[in-house]
Structure 1
Amino acid sequence: MKSKLIIFDMDGTLVNSSLTIANAINYVRQNLGFEPMEQEYILKHVNDHTINPAQFFYHSKRFDPDHERWFSEYYTKNHEKELVLYDGIRELLDALKEKGHALGVATNAYRGSTIESLTHLGVHDHFDAIACYDDVAQGKPHPDMLYKLLEETNTEKEKAHFVGDGPRDEMASQKAGIPYTMVDWGFTEHTDAVRSVKELEKILLRV
């Protein structure tokens, strides 16, 4: 079996960050003078590619530096007590590395909070390359960060595979021409998605 570049989305795929994301969005809303939203309502819409998230959550045409600063502020103060890896993810990453695969992360989170999270969870060193929202011109569903990871690891798209949990991930993979696997233990449910880390491991070890 030839080695591949296996790329993962972070939130909802590797990391159960639902509580932190909902609380961080509400922290930004609080600083803007808005009432908090229900956690379920936030998580239902956080991966919805049909909405403008800045408009939906913050009543703003686009994210501005204050939004990023407040979100990161909450994330930094609380990620250690709120973030966890999904069960089996660490073992999956170990197995893929043992087989000689390169690993990458493509996330719409900012680089600072991404590095903090993966380091705190003890898996940062598993990854050969990481592409974040502030590393590229356009985040997912655009393919920019997938192209960045291919370039950084000197990998052809046919030798890559992307794993994510929502339509933004799927659309990015389609635009980049990279095979994709959807999982459903994250923020959104899909009838045709992979439902366990063990099932995902079987798929990735034979790609």
Structure 2
Amino acid sequence: MSAVVFDLDGTLVDSAPDIQAAANRMLEGEGLAPLDLPTLISFIGNGLPKLVERVMRTRGIDPARHEELTQVTLAHYSADSSDLTVLYPGVRAALQALQAKGYALGLCTNKPEAPARDILRALGIEDFFAVVVGGDTLPVKKPDPAPLFTAFEALGEGARLYVGDSEVDAATAKAAGVDFALFTEGYRKGPVEQMLHKARFADFAELPEIAQALLTAG
């Protein structure tokens, strides 16, 4: 069965406001100024520990407190991971169309697995995904290809497509030797033209046809 695996943050969901809220609650506890949304978005992509590291560096916090403050931020985020998070337009219909075409669907994200599953459940799309690989499911995170390999292996043999929004996702697909479809409206840092991708789209209504073309090519 051919399979499509998705990134989560910036791909299926706009989750930055909830991540910002968790990071700012941590900073508030330290008596420090909050971060604006564009700054927070620039920190997304390599998992929560890296995001917290960047937040700490921006606010001049002792790096020795990284593990402690990562856990504080995770606790804030886990308590309210879906209050402000929304699906991008057309996501649900695209997932339904891909499932109707017979494709197996999975998720591979650098977000910790428990909050990732909470978001899928809260937004009513959990049942679309046969496998969820989070940033803490394995000892390594994207762009290491192991999480993506794990997701595809759980879905079985067949053609493979990864869908994401960022440089990290593009690098992961390249490392895994998997075709990459780029959602251009997410959290990427640089120009689309500088990212390796087989196809790109700004509207999820385009994705089912893109997936069919790539998964049946050759």
**Structure 2 equivalent of residue 176 of structure 1:** 176
**Structure 2 equivalent of residue 10 of structure 1:** 8
Q: Indicate how the Cα distance of structure 1 residues 107 and 62 shifts in structure 2: closer, same or farther if over 3 A, else same.
A: farther
**Structure 2 equivalent of residue 37 of structure 1:** 35
Contact in 1 for aligned 2:93/2:205 (Cα 8 Å): no
1:72-151 superposed matches below 5 A:
72-151=74-153
Is 1:204 paired with 2:205?
Answer: no
Return the alpha-carbon distance in structure 1 between the equivalents of residues 191 and 208 of structure 2.
19
1:27 to 25, 28, 33: 25
Deviation at 1:185, TM superposition (A): 1.4
Return the alpha-carbon distance in structure 1 between the equivalents of residues 137 and 81 of structure 2.
21
**Structure 2 equivalent of residue 191 of structure 1:** 192
Q: Indicate how the Cα distance of structure 1 residues 152 and 26 shifts in structure 2: closer, same or farther if over 3 A, else same.
A: same
Deviation at 1:149, TM superposition (A): 1.0
Deviation at 1:168, TM superposition (A): 0.5
- What is the aligned residue count? 200
After TM superposition, what 4+ stretches of structure 1 lie above 6 angstroms from structure 2?
none
Residue type at the aligned position of 2:6: F
Deviation at 1:61, TM superposition (A): 6.8
What is the identity percentage for the equivalent residue pairs of Structure 1 and Structure 2?
25
Return the alpha-carbon distance in structure 2 between the equivalents of residues 62 and 202 of structure 1.
47
Contact in 2 for aligned 1:54/1:61 (Cα 8 Å): no
Return the alpha-carbon distance in structure 2 between the equivalents of residues 105 and 95 of structure 1.
17
TM-score scaled to structure 2, two decimals? 0.82
Q: What RMSD, in angstroms, separates the aligned Cα atoms of the two structures?
A: 2.3
SS of 1:105 mapped into structure 2: strand
Q: Indicate how the Cα distance of structure 1 residues 105 and 171 shifts in structure 2: closer, same or farther if over 3 A, else same.
A: same
Residue type at the aligned position of 1:164: G
Q: Indicate how the Cα distance of structure 1 residues 62 and 200 shifts in structure 2: closer, same or farther if over 3 A, else same.
A: farther
Deviation at 1:15, TM superposition (A): 0.8
Return the alpha-carbon distance in structure 2 between the equivalents of residues 201 and 73 of structure 1.
36
Contact in 1 for aligned 2:4/2:162 (Cα 8 Å): yes
Deviation at 1:33, TM superposition (A): 4.3
Contact in 1 for aligned 2:106/2:132 (Cα 8 Å): yes
Deviation at 1:65, TM superposition (A): 5.6
Residue type at the aligned position of 2:124: G
SS of 1:10 mapped into structure 2: coil
Deviation at 1:27, TM superposition (A): 2.1
Q: Deviations over 1:126-146 (max 9, x none)?
A: 101110011112111111111
Deviation at 1:37, TM superposition (A): 1.4
Return the alpha-carbon distance in structure 1 between the equivalents of residues 51 and 186 of structure 2.
18
Deviation at 1:87, TM superposition (A): 0.9
Deviation at 1:23, TM superposition (A): 1.5
Structure 1: runs of 5+ lacking an equivalent: none
SS of 1:163 mapped into structure 2: strand
Deviation at 1:81, TM superposition (A): 2.7
Contact in 1 for aligned 2:145/2:175 (Cα 8 Å): yes
Structure 2: runs of 5+ lacking an equivalent: 58-62, 194-199
Return the alpha-carbon distance in structure 2 between the equivalents of residues 184 and 130 of structure 1.
23
